[in-house]
């Protein structure tokens, strides 16, 4: 559960990216079928999910350099 809390922004990015990739295929797409990414809805959705996850993960705070909390 802690992993999900730490990676929440990345998970949201994956979902937003996947939806965006699918919508791009649906409304813009590639009519000739020769485009590697946008000719297939699965490829477009996966590509969007990866790009969304990478984009949103850039905005996560870096917790590696923060001092750990100590119990008193």
- Spell out the per-residue pLDDT of the chain, length 72, in tens: 888 888 999 999 999 999 999 999 999 988 787 888 888 899 999 999 999 999 999 988 876 776 766 765
Evaluate whether 18 touches 51 at the Cβ level (below 8 Å): no
Q: Residue 18 and residue 44: Cα distance in Å, rounded?
A: 8
Q: Where are the domains of the chain?
A: 12-57
Q: Residue 57 and residue 50: Cα distance in Å, rounded?
A: 11
Q: In this predicted structure, what is the pLDDT of residue 17?
A: 97
Q: How far is CA 7 from CA 26, 41, 46, 55, 72, in A?
A: 29, 26, 19, 13, 28
Q: Name the region of 53 (left: φ>0; alpha: ψ -120 to 50; beta: rest).
A: alpha
């Amino acid at each position: 559960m802690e992993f999900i809390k730490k990676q929440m922004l990345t998970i949201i990015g994956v979902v937003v990216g996947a939806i965006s990739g699918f919508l791009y295929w649906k409304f813009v797409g590639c009519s000739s079928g020769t485009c590697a990414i946008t000719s297939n809805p699965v490829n477009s959705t996966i590509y969007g999910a990866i790009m969304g996850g990478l984009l949103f993960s850039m905005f996560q705070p870096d917790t590696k350099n923060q001092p750990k909390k100590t119990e008193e």
